[in-house]
Amino acid sequence: MNFPKSFTYIFTDPDWLSKLILPVLCSIIPIIGPLVIAGYMLHLIRNVANREALPLPQLDFGKDLARGFKWFVVMLIYAIPLFLLIGLVIIPFSISSNNQSTPVLAILWSILCGGTILVYFVFLWLLMPVAQAHFAMEETISSGLAISKITKMFSKNITEWLLVLAGGLLAALIAPMGSILFFIGTLITGTYAGLMVSHLIGQAYSVSTQGGPYRATAVNYAPQPPYSQPYSSLYYQTPAIPDQSNTPVDDHQPYDAVPPAPQETLERPGELPEDQAIPKP
C-alpha cells in the first residue's frame, strides 16, 4: 500500500476544488446529506480499487444517495445483534432494580453479555472496512453481508487492512482540527479525513483482489499534434518540392496544359544568338 498517497492524491487532480465543493455543501443537509456523502465515498473506493489514475469522482446526487442508503441498510443489519446484546444487559438490571439487592445471576449475566458486546464490536471494527469495500464494488446489500468472503479477504492481507484501521484512527484526529475555523472548517477537515480513509480502503481491496503493490494507472493524455512536440525524426517529413517543369500560363488553365517555352541561353556573355546575330561584312 501507498500510505502517503492517501494524503496527497486529492491535489493531483486538476479539478479537485470543483469536485469537492458539492460534497462539502451536501454534508450540511441533515439526514440526506450524510447518505449522499456515504455514497460518494463508496464511489471513490471503487475508483481506487480499479486503480484509476484520478479516482476523485464527480458527485452525482441521485446515485450517491441511493448507494449511501443501501449501505445504511447494511450497517443497520450489522447493528441489530449489538442492540439486542445491549438490551439483554439492561433488562436484568431493570428487573432487579425493584429488589433491594442485585442478584448474583444478574451480575454474571451482564458480565457475559458485556464481553460478547466487546467481542462483537471488535469484530465489526475489523471487518467493516472490508465489507464497505466489497459493497462498493458490487453495490448490493447481500455483498455487504457476505461474511465468508469478507473474512477471507481480511485474513488474506491482514497488514493492509490494519493500516486502514490505523488511517481511520489518524482521520479521527484530523477531523476535529477544523473547529479552529469554526463550522465550515470542521466540514472541510471531516470530508478530507473521510476521503483519506476511503482511499486506503480502496488500496487494501485492490491489493487483496489483484495482488502486488498498489500502483495507479498512468494518466492518459490526449495525443498532441506534431507541431507542439519537440523535434523528432518521427514527425519530420521532407517538404514536397513542386514540379517546376510545367507551369500554368494563367489562373484559368490547368497544369500541363501548355508546354513551357524553351529558355534561350547565350553562348557567351554579351553575344546574341545565331539567328539574331548581325552578319559580318
Predicted confidence (pLDDT) at residue 93 exceeds the cutoff of 70: no
Neighbour tally for 16: CB within 10 Å: 14
The Cα 233–Cα 228 span in angstroms is 14
* Per-residue confidence (pLDDT) for residue 271, from 0 to 100: 56
Instruction: Give the pLDDT band of residue 85 (cuts 50, 70, 90).
Output: confident
Query: What would you measure as the largest C-alpha separation in the chain, in angstroms?
Result: 162
More confident residue, 278 or 110: 110
Average pLDDT of the chain? 78
Query: How far does the chain reach from its first CA to its final CA, in angstroms?
Result: 107
Predicted confidence (pLDDT) at residue 199 exceeds the cutoff of 90: yes
Q: Where are the alpha helices (DSSP H) in 61-219?
A: 61-96, 104-138, 141-144, 147-156, 158-174, 182-210
Predicted confidence (pLDDT) at residue 224 exceeds the cutoff of 60: no
Predicted confidence (pLDDT) at residue 201 exceeds the cutoff of 50: yes
pLDDT digit string, tens, across residues 43-71: 999 999 999 988 999 999 999 999 999 99
pLDDT digit string, tens, across residues 164-186: 999 988 888 887 775 565 556 67
Single pTM value for the model: 0.71
Predicted confidence (pLDDT) at residue 262 exceeds the cutoff of 70: no
